[in-house]
A and B are shown apart, each in its own frame.
Chain A
Amino acid sequence: MHSIPVASALGTDRLSLRYRFDRALDSALIWPVLVGATVIFLAVFIGYPVIYNLVMSFQEVNVGNLRSMHRPFVGLANYIKLLDDPLFWVVARNTASFVIGNVVLQCLGGLALALYFAQRFPGSGWLRGVILAGWMMPPLVIGGVWKWMLTSDNGVVNFVLQSLGLVSGKIYWLSDPAMSLISVMAANIWFGLPFNMILIAAGLAGIPQDILEAAALDGAGPVRRFFSITLPLLAPTLYALVALSTIYTMRAFDLIWTMTHGGPVDASNIFPVWSYRLSFEVFDFGTGAAISTEMLVIVFLVALVFVRSVRAESRI
Chain B
Amino acid sequence: MITWTRRTVLGIGLATAALVAMPATAQTVTMWHIFGQPSEPGLGNIKRWNDANPSTQIDHKFIPFGQLSQQLIKGIATGDVPDLITIDNPNTASFASLGALEDLTDMVAKSSVIKASNFYKGSWGVTQWKGRQWAVPGEANTIALYYNADMFRAKGLDPDKPPKTWSELLAITEKLTDKSKNVYGLGFSAIQNEEGTSQWLAWLEQSGGSLTNLNSPDAVAALQVWTDLVAKEQVSKDALVRRQFEMTNAWTGGGSAMVISGPWELQRMKDVKFDWRVAPMPVRDGKNIQASALGGFVWGIPMGAKNKAGAFKVIEFMSLQPQMAQAWLGGRLPPSPNVVIDNPQFPAAYAAFKKQMEFARPRGPHPEWPTISAAVQTAIQEALTGRAKPAQALEKASKVIAPLLQKNPLPAAQ
Contact = CB atoms under 8 A, between A and B. Distances in A.
Interface of A: 62-67, 147, 151-154, 172, 174-177, 180, 259-266, 277, 280-283
B241 A261 contact: yes
30 contacts: A63-B73, A63-B95, A63-B98, A63-B99, A63-B100, A64-B97, A64-B98, A64-B99, A64-B100, A67-B304, A151-B238, A152-B236, A153-B184, A153-B238, A154-B182, A154-B253, A154-B255, A177-B385, A177-B387, A263-B191, A263-B192, A263-B381, A265-B382, A265-B387, A266-B378, A280-B69, A280-B73, A281-B374, A282-B370, A283-B98
B67 to A, nearest CB: 9
Interface in B306-347: none
A152 B237 contact: yes
Sort A-B residue pairs by CB-CB distance and give the 5 closest, nearest first: A64-B98, A263-B192, A64-B99, A63-B98, A264-B240
A291 to B, nearest CB: 15
A219 to B, nearest CB: 56
A63 B76 contact: yes
Given A175-B240, A280-B69, A282-B371, A261 B191 contact: yes
Nearest to A63: B98
Interface string B187-215: 00001110000000000000000000000
A179 B381 CA distance: 15
Interface of B: 69-70, 73, 76-79, 94-95, 97-100, 182, 184, 191-193, 236-241, 250, 253, 255, 304, 370-371, 374, 378, 381-382, 384-385, 387
A280 B241 contact: no
Given A64-B99, A153-B184, 16 more contacts: A63-B95, A66-B77, A172-B238, A175-B236, A175-B240, A177-B385, A260-B241, A263-B240, A264-B240, A264-B381, A264-B385, A265-B382, A266-B378, A281-B374, A282-B370, A283-B94
Scoring B69, B73, B384 by chain A CB atoms within 10 A of each residue's CB, the highest score goes to: B73
Contact of B98 (A62, A154, A265): A62
Contacts of B304: 67
A175 B73 contact: no
B374 A263 contact: no
Nearest to B256: A153
Nearest to A183: B241
A114 to B, nearest CB: 34
A284 B267 CA distance: 36
Contacts of B236: 152-153, 175
Contacts, number: 96
Contacts of B98: 62-64, 283
Contacts of A265: 192, 378, 381-382, 385, 387
B241 A175 contact: yes
Contacts of A154: 182, 250, 253, 255
A261 B192 contact: yes
Contacts of B370: 281-283
A147 B239 CA distance: 13
A43 to B, nearest CB: 19
Contacts of A175: 236-241, 385
Nearest to B79: A67
Contacts of A174: 238, 240-241
Contacts of A282: 370-371, 374
A264 to B, nearest CB: 4
A67 B81 CA distance: 11
Contacts of A151: 238
A163 to B, nearest CB: 14
A264 B100 contact: no
Contacts of A281: 69, 193, 370, 374
B238 A67 contact: no
A182 to B, nearest CB: 14
B354 to A, nearest CB: 31
Contacts of B70: 280
Nearest to B190: A264
A32 B297 CA distance: 55
A14 to B, nearest CB: 12
A238 to B, nearest CB: 35
B84 to A, nearest CB: 18
